[in-house]
Amino acid sequence: MRDYLYGVEVGSDTNARKNRGGTEWETLIEPLIKQIAKKNGYGIEVRQKFEKVMKNLGYDVPQSLSRNMDFIVYKGNKFVDIEASYFSGAGTKLEVPGAYLNRTFKEGFSLTLFLFTDGSGWKTAKHRMEDYFDTIPCVTNYQMAKEGVLKTALKKYLS
């Protein structure tokens, strides 16, 4: 009986830690992204299904884009999906959906993917991070964003 209780406690703790880190990271960066959006006249949606946001704005969306996005920042028909990932270490899943890279759709809008990330994964997964910097138009961490990298990149892709 004692082993079983330990197993339940360990399993619960592992799952709780996994979700807690992502939620805390999104909560930390949300005010910064909202501030940039407000100051520059961009629309912003937080933790919404892209399909729902687009339908509310009058667009038909390909089924392949029916997914939750952390932050959607937009102006006119240009949209940026800002995915928030805190890479806590080498074991962190460092996956990014390639379908969301800088693309224009027949429905009349463009979608660009930015990655807002931080954590020790930057040190332990250097090759993967290099791939992101080579592929994704804007990869930023908290300090870089505070220094203007995110603001500059949004201005470039939303103007």
Confidence at residue 17, expressed as pLDDT on a 0 to 100 scale: 47
Q: Where are the domains of the chain?
A: 26-158
Specify whether the CB–CB gap between 103 and 79 falls below 8 A.
no
The 3-state secondary structure of 63-123, one letter per residue = HHHCCEEEEEEEECCEEEEEEEEECCCCCCCCCCCHHHCCEECCCCCEEEEEEEEECCHHH
pLDDT digits (tens, 9 = 90+) for 102-141: 677 778 888 898 988 887 777 777 777 787 888 888 999 9
pLDDT at 21: 57
Statement: residue 75 has pLDDT above 60: yes
Assign residue 101 a region: left if phi > 0, alpha if psi is -120 to 50, beta otherwise? beta
Nearest to 30 by CA among 82, 92, 66, 96: 82
Task: State the DSSP H helix or E strand holding residue 22, giving kind and residue range, or none if neither.
Answer: helix 2-40
SS3 state of residue 42: coil
Mean pLDDT score, 148-158: 96
State mean pLDDT over 68-96: 80
Whole-model pTM above 0.75?
Answer: yes
Residues 6 or more apart whose CB falls under 8 angstroms from that of 48 comprise 68, 69, 72
Poorest-pLDDT segment among 30-34, 55-59, 144-148: 55-59
**Coil vs helix vs strand at 37:** helix
Among the listed residues 26, 38, 136, the one whose alpha carbon sits nearest the alpha carbon of residue 84 = 26
The CATH architecture annotation of domain 26-158 reads 3-Layer(aba) Sandwich (3.40)
Confidence grade of residue 99 (pLDDT, cut at 50, 70, 90): low
Q: What is the pLDDT of residues 16-40, one digit of tens each?
A: 444 455 678 888 899 999 999 999 9
